Structure 1
Amino acid sequence: MNTDQTPFSRDEENNNVWLSKENAQTITLTDHGITPTVLASEAEVGQAMLNELYATAEAKEGDINIALLGGRGAQELHRLLGKLAESGEKDELLARLNVFTQDALAPMGMANGFSFVRDFERILGEAFFNKIKSFTPMQTDTEDLESALVAYLNKLESLGGLDIFFIGHGPEENQASHLAYIKPFSGAKPQHVAGLIPISSSILEHHISKFKAGGSVVSEDDEKECRSAEYILTLGPAAIMQAKKVVQSVVDADSAPAKVNTYAKVLNTSISADPAEALQQLNANPGLWIRLNANTKSFVLPNLGV
């Protein structure tokens, strides 16, 4: 385990703040493409995601570091993990897990019902959190969000980085998309490990309606605090490209039909071999970052039309 504290440098573009390791090596942009696996149901997608965790556990000794996906994409996986925790069937595996969140609204109290942490607790269940080795959310209740994010990144770095980055696909305007919450034209570059992104009213409305529809227990005070959030904390391109495995799931094209076109654009757009042009493509459509990890699995439903 690396116990050194990694120094981070700071880049700012249009009020987007990005953090990168000061000693970061130059990252080569190689387009590996993406080959979706079409499965019949959300249950099958959840099982496929769990199978990827099992495969990593078999291939690696010791701790397993994962970033959880919020929203619909991984809820079936979370239900399966919760059942395993209650049954005791996979306690040895759960005890190896260092679990991280990949994005968060801030500033916001950690106990707020609109926090992804609360949603994870609701679906994964108490037994899961009691049995895993560690759980590290992004801290959202501090006046110094940037320093808290650096502390989060240092813990992730000290544990050896992500073994699995569970990730989704978010639609944006002009058939663009976001990954984690790397937004179009936010200035994200290959060396950026994480960032603080100014939040928009449309994102807040989407987030609030999604949580209410999903059955989260929320109060008027929770909603008021959530609506006052100013930033999204997010892992960045470097975290995606350097993860040992990326496991994507896209299951909600029926309720988010824009994903049909935005996923197709990621699927069918080749990233330029010219570095400057490639960076322009990635800035305009951050969903493309997933094509730059050589070990990516993308599990989707037939309603995505691929």
Structure 2
Amino acid sequence: MTTHKPAFSREDKNNNVWLSYAESADWRPVDKGLSPTVLPSEMAIGEAMLNELMLTAEEKSGEINIALLGGRGAQQLHRLLGELAAKTEHDALFARLNVFTQDALAPMAMQNGLSFVRDFERILGPAFFEKINSFTPMQTDSDDLEGSFIAYLQKLESLGGLDIFFIGHGPEANEASHLAYIKPFSGAQAHHLAGLIPISSSILEHHISKFKAGGSQVSEADEQECRHAQYILTLGPATILKAKKVVQSVVDAETAPAKVATYQKVLHTTISNDQAEAAEQLNANPGLWVRLHPNFKSFVLPNLGV
């Protein structure tokens, strides 16, 4: 495990700030294709995601670094992990886990009921957080968001990067999609590790309604503070591509029907081998980044229509 803290550079793309290494390696787009696995239920998808974690634990010795997926996509996985953490059979596994969040609204108090951290605590339960090796959320209440974000990235780098990036699929206009919160036309490029993206009122409304529907306890003060958030903090393409394994779940097409068309577009769009053309495709539709990862699995429900 290295303790080297790399230098970071800052790029402003249409008011979106992207962080990357000061010296970034060149890249060549190679489309790996996409073959989704259709499973019968959210529980089955949660079990499949848990199985991917167990496989990594068998294949790798030492600590395991994972990025949690927020929202509905991984709730069954989190419930399963919470149930296991309440027992002792898998304590050795939990003791190996370094857990990271992948996106956040900011500025916002870390105790806000509309933060992903509170939602993780609610579903995973206290035993999970007591037993894991470490938990590193994105700091959303700092006076220096960029500085705190860089410290977060340095810790992730010092631990060797992600072993599993649990990721979702978010619908956007024009049948595009976002990953983590890499938004269309936000200027994300292959060397960008993370970004700070201006937030829209529509995203805030969607976030609030999603959390309420999911059972989160939200006070009026929490809601008002959330409505004043200005940025989305998100991991970027480089962090996705560097992860040793990317595991996607898409479970809510019934309540978010736009995902049917947006996932189909990712499924049937081939990324160009030309670097400039590929960059344009990925900027317009960030959901395509998963097609470049050599160890990617996508678990979906039948209602996605694939």
For residues 93 and 24 of structure 1, the distance between their equivalents in structure 2, rounded to whole angstroms, comes to 34
Secondary structure of the structure 2 residue equivalent to 1:248: strand
Alignment of 1:162-173 (within 5 A): 162-173=162-173
1:33, distance to aligned residue in structure 2 (A): 1.0
Number of the residue aligned with 2:156: 156
Number of the residue aligned with 2:132: 132
Deviations 1:221-254 (A, max 9, x none): 0001000000000000001111000000000000
1:14, distance to aligned residue in structure 2 (A): 1.1
Which AA in structure 1 matches 2:7? Answer: P
Number of the residue aligned with 1:145: 145
Q: Which runs of 5+ in 1 are unaligned?
A: none
Number of the residue aligned with 2:60: 60
Number of the residue aligned with 2:6: 6
The percent of aligned pairs where both chains have the same amino acid is 74
Number of the residue aligned with 1:28: 28
Number of the residue aligned with 1:303: 303
Number of the residue aligned with 2:292: 292
Of 119-128 and 5-14, the range deviating more from structure 2: 5-14
For residues 110 and 65 of structure 1, the distance between their equivalents in structure 2, rounded to whole angstroms, comes to 22
Number of the residue aligned with 1:247: 247
Runs of 4+ more than 3 Å apart = none
Deviations 1:246-279 (A, max 9, x none): 0000000000000000000000000011110100
Number of the residue aligned with 1:272: 272
Number of the residue aligned with 2:203: 203
Deviations 1:136-177 (A, max 9, x none): 000000121001100000000000000000000000000000
For residues 42 and 7 of structure 2, the distance between their equivalents in structure 1, rounded to whole angstroms, comes to 41
For residues 137 and 34 of structure 2, the distance between their equivalents in structure 1, rounded to whole angstroms, comes to 29
Secondary structure of the structure 2 residue equivalent to 1:67: strand
CA RMSD in angstroms comes to: 0.5
1:23, distance to aligned residue in structure 2 (A): 2.7
Number of the residue aligned with 1:212: 212
Q: Is the 8 A contact 2:29 2:272 kept in 1?
A: no
Deviations 1:174-208 (A, max 9, x none): 00000000000000000000000000011000000
1:25, distance to aligned residue in structure 2 (A): 1.5
Which AA in structure 2 matches 1:218? Answer: V
For residues 200 and 18 of structure 1, the distance between their equivalents in structure 2, rounded to whole angstroms, comes to 18
For residues 164 and 84 of structure 1, the distance between their equivalents in structure 2, rounded to whole angstroms, comes to 19
1:218, distance to aligned residue in structure 2 (A): 1.1
Number of the residue aligned with 1:87: 87
Number of the residue aligned with 1:76: 76
Which AA in structure 2 matches 1:269? Answer: T
Which AA in structure 2 matches 1:277? Answer: E
Which AA in structure 1 matches 2:55? Answer: A
Secondary structure of the structure 2 residue equivalent to 1:260: helix
Secondary structure of the structure 2 residue equivalent to 1:135: strand
Secondary structure of the structure 1 residue equivalent to 2:150: helix
Q: Which runs of 5+ in 2 are unaligned?
A: none
Which AA in structure 1 matches 2:237? Answer: P
For residues 205 and 88 of structure 2, the distance between their equivalents in structure 1, rounded to whole angstroms, comes to 39
1:26, distance to aligned residue in structure 2 (A): 1.4
1:22, distance to aligned residue in structure 2 (A): 1.3
Number of the residue aligned with 1:261: 261
Which AA in structure 1 matches 2:250? Answer: V
For residues 213 and 27 of structure 2, the distance between their equivalents in structure 1, rounded to whole angstroms, comes to 40
Secondary structure of the structure 2 residue equivalent to 1:120: helix
For residues 59 and 30 of structure 2, the distance between their equivalents in structure 1, rounded to whole angstroms, comes to 25
1:5, distance to aligned residue in structure 2 (A): 1.3
For residues 35 and 64 of structure 1, the distance between their equivalents in structure 2, rounded to whole angstroms, comes to 26
Which AA in structure 2 matches 1:147? Answer: G
Q: Is the 8 A contact 2:28 2:273 kept in 1?
A: no
TM-score (norm 1): 0.99
For residues 74 and 62 of structure 1, the distance between their equivalents in structure 2, rounded to whole angstroms, comes to 24
1:288, distance to aligned residue in structure 2 (A): 0.2
For residues 301 and 133 of structure 1, the distance between their equivalents in structure 2, rounded to whole angstroms, comes to 32
Q: Is the 8 A contact 2:105 2:231 kept in 1?
A: yes
TM-score (norm 2): 0.99
Does 1:18 pair with 2:18? yes
1:27, distance to aligned residue in structure 2 (A): 2.3
Q: Is the 8 A contact 2:31 2:291 kept in 1?
A: yes
Q: Is the 8 A contact 2:36 2:297 kept in 1?
A: yes
Aligned residues: 306
1:24, distance to aligned residue in structure 2 (A): 2.3
Number of the residue aligned with 2:174: 174
1:87, distance to aligned residue in structure 2 (A): 1.2
Does 1:105 pair with 2:102? no
For residues 104 and 89 of structure 2, the distance between their equivalents in structure 1, rounded to whole angstroms, comes to 31
